[in-house]
Amino acid sequence: MSTDLVDVRTGVYHDSVSLMRISQAVTALPGVEVAMVAMATELNRDLATDLGFVLPGAGPADLLIAVRGGGPAALEAAAAELERLLGGLTGRAAGGAAAEHPPRTVRAAARTAGGRTATLALVSVPGPYAFAEALDAIEAGLSVMIFSDNVPVEQEVLLKKRAGELGALVMGPDCGTAVIGGAGLGFANVLRPGPVGVVAASGTGAQQVSCLLDLAGVGVSHVLGVGGRDLSREVGGLSTLRALRALDADPATELIVLVSKPPAPEVAHAVRQAVAELATPVVSALLGPGQDDLTAAAETALRALGAPVPRWRSWPAPEPVAAAGTGTLRGVYSGGTLCTEARLIAGAGEFTDFGDDAYTRGRAHPMIDPTLRLEALAQVPSGDVALLDVVLGHGADPDPSARLAPGITAAVAGGVAVVVALVGSEGDPQGTAAQARALRAAGAAVFVSNAQAARHAAGLLRDAR
């Protein structure tokens, strides 16, 4: 018989990514059916209620803990592990005078930055609360990276216009990746320093380009994410234009690569006009019909720097599965731009971006938790081809192949050909080559280029016909 543990801790805050990792770790314990550790926002309270938990009163500044186990022993073990994991977060945050008198606002934190001058704030709170925190940072004279998603576009425009007035840069909302002077923020790969600056209205697009450059021996100066909507008609490229000017003025940047999902035509035109006025050369990877893919853009950047273009690594499937001539290519992606690129290359098939806001409300991003993608992979019919991305780096799953391998093996055994686009650098903690070997051993064909993976996957179906 199942037993529930429900607890509300008043005034305890931890960021959503850390709490989602704890939820995932506790759920994986023996005898635990489900665990939810999250801030008690309205959305999270609704999710817990939908799971059948009976909740006491709680507000968005409170920590909600809800665990269901197979009996008292399982709950006791889960509670002990939960305290250990939460204690690790508390210990990481503590230290010095700031721990005794923690600042109550972003502006106050900027004034007490350990004697150093703060220049950047990272906002990672539920979307409805991100605007106030980001505006506070901007008014304090800080640039801001907004990791939060589900922020209304009207608020994004207001933040970016105000930042422009004050000489600051807004990266985001829904900015998953940035690298500032070698320091990675959000989902970030370990990249060697070098002469290429990246401006990206795409997190995984920036990761693909910068990782290919790294694998070719070329490093980056900065990666400035601007949020996936920045080149939309509503936002008008406000942060893209500012980021381009910032890199143009940076003496460490010799070449700029501009990456985006398909932009609004009039915004793309304005950006191209701005690019023409820069002193620093720019390689554009604005995805769309007839445009270069991300791998081609990386190769163009290498040639512009006089660096050789390598043969991008791949690992063939150990026993290729024959796709049926009437089969379908099914993209099961965690990165929106990688998904778009694959769809453009393949020209046909069914593609789902599980990193879209619709799939991440109240749950971890698929780069952290592959549950939804594994469920989708299990539903792919025999004779079809499944195309997945696996993105490495800090913030991502520490061992994605271990979580994905059983699902890949089962799919291959069921007659599905599996192709993986593996996005990672030489320095990533997961080990790019080790991950590739493990994914191949599970039965997948693996490519470091998403474009090459998409072409290979589509080719399997064409060859079958």
According to DSSP, residue 286 is labeled E
pLDDT at 464: 59
Strand, helix or coil at 258?
strand
pLDDT in tens, the chain (465 residues): 678 999 999 988 887 778 888 888 898 899 999 899 988 888 788 888 988 999 998 888 899 999 999 888 999 999 999 999 998 886 555 444 445 566 777 877 777 665 567 889 999 887 888 999 999 999 999 999 999 888 999 999 999 999 999 999 999 998 989 999 889 998 999 999 999 999 999 899 999 999 999 999 999 999 999 999 999 999 999 999 999 999 999 999 999 999 998 999 999 999 999 999 999 999 999 999 989 999 999 999 999 999 999 999 999 999 877 666 678 999 999 999 999 999 999 998 999 999 887 887 767 788 988 989 999 999 999 999 999 999 999 989 899 999 999 999 999 999 999 999 999 999 999 999 999 999 999 999 999 999 999 999 999 987 655
Q: What is the pLDDT of residues 128-140, one digit of tens each?
A: 889 999 999 999 9
- φ and ψ at residue 213, rounded to 5 degrees: -60, -45
In 147-254, the DSSP E strands lie at: 170-171, 177-180, 183-186, 193-201, 220-225
Name, in order, each residue with C-beta under 8 angstroms of 317's C-beta and a sequence gap of 6 or more. Answer: 412, 417, 418, 440, 443, 444, 445
Q: What is the pLDDT of residues 330-366, one digit of tens each?
A: 999 999 999 999 999 999 899 999 988 788 776 778 8
Q: Which two tokens stand for residue 261?
A: 């999902």
pLDDT at 20: 80
C-alpha span between 238 and 201 (Å, rounded) = 11
Name the residue among 130, 185, 134 with its Cα closest to residue 163. Answer: 134
Name, in order, each residue with C-beta under 8 angstroms of 96's C-beta and a sequence gap of 6 or more. Answer: 114
pLDDT at 324: 60
Angle at 65 between CA 150 and CA 69, to 5 degrees: 120
Name, in order, each residue with C-beta under 8 angstroms of 233's C-beta and a sequence gap of 6 or more. Answer: 264, 266, 267
The pTM (predicted TM-score) of the whole model is 0.86
Domains of the chain: 3-93 (3.30.70), 106-304 (3.40.50.261), 314-464 (3.40.50.261)
Strand, helix or coil at 37?
strand
pLDDT at 160: 97
DSSP per-residue string spanning 410-435: HHHHTT-EEEEEEE--TT-TT-HHHH
